[in-house]
């Protein structure tokens, strides 16, 4: 259960990630946090899938919001691998919020947890430096959620792990939105793409 050699994860962060994995497996028995079939390979499917985003977060970034955090991927993982970053997890499901709070407390990983819908959060919270979302919604829908932040912070960086439909989703989104994108092949699934989006605006 070591991270891929191309990622340098401090020993303290790795210990937290392992503790997180233990809690995920334990809580999964009572709450459907992730797809049950993915539990036997949770390290690769969820943890490494999130760890690989670490170098994509700009070095100067101070705040990150993770939308629809669910079990905490990738937001809570990034809070562990980038301890100087102020991470806010936005999740409307109270049971999942309780899980996130438990992992945060037991692993001594400080995060803010906002238990409300993204639409409400984007109206009430100040714009962050970075936004992440994993397996949440289509690109166009995500842009609709974060647009208030993009307007308030033109330098906003969005990091969205996407599956095989990334190209199709970008084509659909460009009917309504303009943006710059960088595509990175996922190390956990060669068919999946991680999109880094900047300069988002409406047509």
In the chain, where are the structural domains located? 11-202
- pLDDT at position 1 is 37
pLDDT tens profile 115-166: 999 999 999 999 999 999 998 999 999 999 999 999 999 999 999 999 888 9
Question: Environment class of residue 60 by beta-carbon count within 10 Å: exposed (0-12), middle (13-18) or buried (19+)?
Answer: exposed
Q: How far apart are CA 176 and CA 155, in angstroms?
A: 20
Cα separation, 88 vs 20, whole angstroms: 17
What's residue 164's pLDDT?
87
Helix (H) or strand (E) holding 27: helix 11-28
C-alpha 107/C-alpha 119 separation (Å) is 29
Superfamily name with CATH number, domain 11-202: Vaccinia Virus protein VP39 (3.40.50.150)
Question: What's the pLDDT score for residue 181?
Answer: 97
């Amino acid at each position: 259960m070591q991270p891929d050699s191309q990622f340098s994860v401090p020993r303290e962060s790795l210990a937290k990630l392992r503790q997180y994995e233990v809690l995920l497996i334990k809580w999964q028995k009572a709450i459907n946090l992730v797809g049950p079939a993915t539990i036997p390979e949770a390290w690769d499917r969820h943890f490494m899938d999130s760890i690989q985003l670490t170098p994509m977060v700009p070095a100067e970034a101070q705040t990150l919001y993770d939308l629809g955090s669910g079990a905490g991927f990738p937001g809570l993982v990034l809070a562990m691998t980038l301890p100087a970053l102020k991470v806010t997890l936005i999740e409307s499901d109270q049971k999942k919020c309780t899980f996130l709070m438990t992992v945060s407390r037991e692993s001594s990983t400080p995060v803010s947890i906002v238990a409300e819908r993204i639409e409400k959060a984007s109206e009430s919270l100040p714009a962050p430096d970075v936004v992440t979302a994993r397996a949440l919604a289509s690109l166009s829908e995500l842009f609709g959620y974060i647009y208030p932040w993009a307007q308030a912070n033109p330098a906003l960086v969005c990091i969205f792990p996407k599956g095989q439909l990334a190209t199709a989703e970008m084509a659909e989104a460009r009917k309504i939105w303009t943006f710059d994108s960088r595509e990175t092949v996922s190390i956990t699934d060669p068919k999946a793409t991680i999109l880094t989006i900047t300069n988002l605006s409406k047509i």
